[in-house]
Amino acid sequence: MKGEPMAQSDPTEILLRHHRWANDQLLNACVALSDEQLDHEFEMGLGTLRRTLTHIAGAIRGWGDMIAGREQHPRLEEQRLSLEDIRKALTEATDDFETTTRAHDLDSIATGSRGGRTFSFTRGGVLTHVTTHAMHHRAQCLNMLRRLGVDPLPPSSVLEWMMMVDPV
C-alpha cells in the first residue's frame, strides 16, 4: 500500500494483511464452482468447501467478539450460506477483528465464555491462533480444490503474499 510502511516489518500487520489476502484468494478461486462442488464431501476437516469457508468466517467472528468483550454472535456454522454470504460474513468479521486487534495492546488479556467455561488469553495469542487456524483450514480447502480439478490453485502462503503484494 503506497504511502504506508511496508507490512513486512511488523509481525502484527504481516499476520492481519496476509490473513485477509489469503482468504480473499481462496474465495476468488471458489467463485466459478457450482453448489454441487462447494458441497462435495471430502474425508478431511469439516468435509466440504462451503462448511470449511463458513467455519473460517465464524471462527474469526467468534474470536473478534471475545477480544472485543462482546456477547458472542450466533454461530455461522449453523447456517448454509451462499458463497456471496460467506464473503460478506468473512469481510465483516475480518474488518472487525483487525480493528479490535489494532485497538488493544497484544499483551492485554481478553476473557470470554463458551460452552459454560470461561477462558482468558492474551490478544497476541488470539491473533496468532486466529490466523494460523485459518491457515490450517485454507490448506484443507486447497486440497479440496485440487481434488475438484482447480488449476492453478490460488496463492496462499505468507511468502507468496510478500512477493505478490508487499515486495521489499
The answer as to whether 157 is a domain residue is yes
- Of 134, 144, 50, nearest to 94 by C-alpha is 134
Per-residue pLDDT tens for 39-85? 999 999 999 999 999 999 999 999 999 999 999 899 988 889 999 99
Residue 115 falls inside a structural domain: no
Confidence (pTM): 0.93
Please write the tens of the pLDDT for every residue from 127-159. Answer: 999 999 999 999 999 999 999 999 999 999 999
Q: Is residue 2 one of the residues assigned to a domain?
A: no
Domain ranges, residue 28: 21-104+127-164
Domain count, the chain: 1
Which grid coordinates belong to 65? 467478539
